[in-house]
């Protein structure tokens, strides 16, 4: 995703002026730059020269010649500065190579944060916006463990699986990339503002949509193609039959990316999408080793093994006893107390200590699971 080639240093204001012209999208911008080499030359060209570019008819040529959309440019530059964000173009060295090679890459990206060379080894984790406890556990486990191996996690900052995947990558000491269906200064859902700030500090927050763009429903399928394009493969952690994550999986197949699906309970409506993907040929995964083994030819040797062993967590005898009683299936505190012949208050105190060590999580209803 990252190269050392020199940037073309194209005029950002000129590109934004082009973008503001009705009927001029990313493909036409790339075609125009390919012919004229710079926005300045495009705007200096005559109509008869412009119509020689594929996709540019007489009407579009006249719009380019008569372009007067300076207000849009000023607003965008002001919003970029206010949000501490910037634009990278298709012709810049920082523009991700994986994204550059798809059918319709954006002409430029609005972003906050910095790409790293390691981001070329990324996995997308997507799924339900309202996951079950099982789905939450899967996203948390996979996100954290993949990040610990040096693999960047890509997702869409949505509620549910996306949010868990991003947070887990950060807590695993790794990097994460969030692709938005709105402007990078319009965080959606709004409760993820803290998460977005954390991502921009150790990853990238990006969008192909201009600053101030609202999270319209039509934006998300376009966002999904970028999620899969940035990744070597897409993991669907949990998905119902109509989940948007299935759109991402289908796009991934079109982009020649690997599709992985986590099997789920056949009686759960939230697992139908994943189980159908597996039936249709997606790779069934039960651990990150399944993912790494499938992608091993694309991974540096060092990434195929844990770069850092998970530090040992010292537990007292009683903490170990309670921890051993837990599993990936939720268990109520009263049941834990009964199993270990302890009072509820005693068990609660121990569970809180285990939560602080980040190896146990409480879920609604005073249920607890091992993570």
Residues 88 and 111 sit within 8 Å (Cβ to Cβ): yes
For residue 263, which phi and psi values (nearest 5 degrees)?
A: -65, 150
Dump pLDDT digits (tens) for 301-319.
Answer: 545 444 444 445 788 889 9
Looking at residue 9, what is its pLDDT?
A: 61
314-321 long-range CB contacts below 8 Å, 24 or more apart?
315/354, 315/357, 318/350, 319/350, 319/353, 319/354
pTM given for the model: 0.82
Contacts of 111 (CB under 8 A, 6+ apart): 85, 86, 87, 88, 184, 204, 205, 206, 207
- Top-level CATH class of 117-304? alpha beta
Q: Where exactly does CATH 3.40.50.450 map onto the chain?
A: 117-304
Degrees, nearest 5: CA angle 189-81-10: 110
Looking at residue 358, what is its pLDDT?
A: 78
Degrees, nearest 5: CA angle 17-211-123: 115
Token pair recorded at residue 275: 């189980």
CA–CA gap between residue 272 and residue 270 (Å, rounded): 6
Q: Where exactly does CATH 1.10.10.10 map onto the chain?
A: 317-370
User: Is the Cα torsion angle 107, 111, 114, 115 positive or negative in sign?
Assistant: negative
Looking at residue 7, what is its pLDDT?
A: 42
Looking at residue 303, what is its pLDDT?
A: 56
Looking at residue 315, what is its pLDDT?
A: 86
Looking at residue 283, what is its pLDDT?
A: 97
Rounded to a whole number of angstroms, the distance between the first and last alpha carbons of the chain is 31
Looking at residue 360, what is its pLDDT?
A: 87
- Top-level CATH class of 317-370? mainly alpha
What residues of the chain score a pLDDT lower than 50?
1-7, 302, 304-311
């Amino acid at each position: 995703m990252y190269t050392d080639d020199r940037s073309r240093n194209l005029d950002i204001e000129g590109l934004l002026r082009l973008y503001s012209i009705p009927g001029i999208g990313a493909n036409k911008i790339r075609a125009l730059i390919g012919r004229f080499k710079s926005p300045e030359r495009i705007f200096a060209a005559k109509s008869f020269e412009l119509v020689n570019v594929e996709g540019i008819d007489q009407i579009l040529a006249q719009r380019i010649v008569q372009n007067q959309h300076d207000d849009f440019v000023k607003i965008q530059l002001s919003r970029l500065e206010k949000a501490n964000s910037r634009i990278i173009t298709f012709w810049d060295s920082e523009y991700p190579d994986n994204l550059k090679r798809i059918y319709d890459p954006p002409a430029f990206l609005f972003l906050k944060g910095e790409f790293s060379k390691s981001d070329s080894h990324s996995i997308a984790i997507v799924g339900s916006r309202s996951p079950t406890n099982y789905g939450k556990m899967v996203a948390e486990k996979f996100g954290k463990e993949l990040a610990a191996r040096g693999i960047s996690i890509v997702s869409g900052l949505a509620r549910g699986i996306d949010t868990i995947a991003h947070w887990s990558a950060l807590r695993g000491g790794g990097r994460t990339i969030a692709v938005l269906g709105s402007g990078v200064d319009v965080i959606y859902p709004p409760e993820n503002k803290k998460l977005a700030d954390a991502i921009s500090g150790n990853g990238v927050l990006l969008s192909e949509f201009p600053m101030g763009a609202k999270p319209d429903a039509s934006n998300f399928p376009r966002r999904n193609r970028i999620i899969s394009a940035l990744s070597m493969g897409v993991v669907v952690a949990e998905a119902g039959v109509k989940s948007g994550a299935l759109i991402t999986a289908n796009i991934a197949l079109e982009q020649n990316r690997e599709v992985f699906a986590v099997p789920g309970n056949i009686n759960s409506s939230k697992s139908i999408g994943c189980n159908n993907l597996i039936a249709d040929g997606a790779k069934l995964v039960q651990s990150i080793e399944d993912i790494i083994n499938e992608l091993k030819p694309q991974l540096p040797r060092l990434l195929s093994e844990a770069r850092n062993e998970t530090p040992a967590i010292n537990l007292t005898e009683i903490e170990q006893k309670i921890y051993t009683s837990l599993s990936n299936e939720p268990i109520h505190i009263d049941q834990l107390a009964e199993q270990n012949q302890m009072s509820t208050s005693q068990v609660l105190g121990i569970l809180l200590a285990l939560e602080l060590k980040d190896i146990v999580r409480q879920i609604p209803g005073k249920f607890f699971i091992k993570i």
